[in-house]
Structure 1
Amino acid sequence: MILTELSILIADDNEMNRWLLAEQLSVWSNDVALACDGLEAWNLLQDRQYSMVFLDVNMPGLNGFELVKKARTESLNRLTPIIAVTAHIQTHQRYLLIEDGFNECLVKPIVLADLQHVLSNWCAPTATVSSQYYAQALLKKTEHNPALGQVFFQKMLQEVPTQLVDLGQALQDQQCQIALDIAHKLHGSFCFSGFDDLRAIAGQLEQDLLNIDLPKANQQFQRLTNGFANLLNLQNDVIANLFGDF
């Protein structure tokens, strides 16, 4: 993995743990903010959107569980990947962390390979999700017909948000078959448009639902939601790139 422009927040009341994780992350980012307790982390989460957040589960002021719930509802980081950091955890407890709003969990002492896996899984390289990438995918699918590409693109932008809302509700209600049907439609839509980044996530989500693995399905759903939110932010640039106006 190459150095990226990731912005990262680390919250841990142990100074040595903060320093060590910051040193490990310096391989990939030179923009790392530190918080010494939950209250300081909460103030930072309200002021800025980060690429990724690492929260110690046990902190004074606000613990990690309280903080992630507030972040998901009351901050700029509602969709930000938030990673729980803890010294002791069992497999079933990891699933509980994910259900509480965390995207993933790292166990102290953190192994560099595990950290790299988390970054690779939740922070997609910007080169693969640019407006040019999406425009070129649409043009390829429509034999370089920008008007038709725009029609396909706008149809997707109209349909997918409702499907994501319905999918999220089905996952929350643990209705696997309904969630699977929606995930299958999303997978097909992204295949049709040539958006391989979103297609891959939707495909994995579909597989996790086939396996009735709800914790993993919820992880992929969060990734898909984040990816589509990025696409929405790029929609004007995608259309401009379709017609060569860049």
Structure 2
Amino acid sequence: MMRHLVLGSLAGLATMPAGADPASPLDSPAVAAALNAASLPMDACGGEDLLDVAVPDGIFLQACKLHDSCYRSGALDQGTCDTLFLDRMREACDATFDPYEKPLIHATCRVGAAIYYTAVNSRFGAMLYPGGHTGGEMLNSLQTRLAEPDGSDELSVCTDVANTSDRQLQYLLVLHDAKGHWVDTEPDLGKVVLNPGKTKKVCLDTDHAPWASWDSVGPAYAVTLLVDDPDRLTPFGDLIPLDRLECDKASGECRHAEP
């Protein structure tokens, strides 16, 4: 398995305070056993050689080992592994540097933990999460007619985007009119970033397109959910369709269709 930035195994779990996190997934014997079985001696924050110099272990070594085995085992999704990783790094900061006696060093340690976490809770981490799959869906839709002073009313449609996969994914939504012409893409900049099991409401409207309005859309419209597939490393064409809503404007009702 490819070693990856700031990833580690379960070695050292025995040194962690028993019952420190009663809600932790590690309380499950099955999960703990799976992570233990997946740990390897080579696990560390940066792996070996040059990468190990660039990403030093320091007091985060045990957290990195836990994180690597968590990814490798597949017992927990990427978001949960990353959250456990951050929790263990923060615990290491708290145990090593007293926040009252050494506030600056403690704060610096916490910043370092946040940097390590950000490095893995990302598209990079999603790409390296073994066996990860790509998925997502729109859970609902709400159509609204937005009144404008000049009488050219606008169409707004909102939907809850859900990450149904086991790794962090980045989504885009596209609105098309009845003839299939592009009307709006949301977000305008960047993407909707969701960890596994999370949802976010996203709204599209005709107000972003000067030529589009409630009337110009026609009797129907469609909303397509796209995902930036972590398994595709090409600079272009890595957006793939996952879900599509075809909506009747008169009733506001939508149905799922093949994207």
TM-score, scaled to structure 2: 0.30
Structure index of larger Rg: 2
TM-score by length of 1: 0.31
More strand by share: 2
Structure with greater proportional helix content: 1
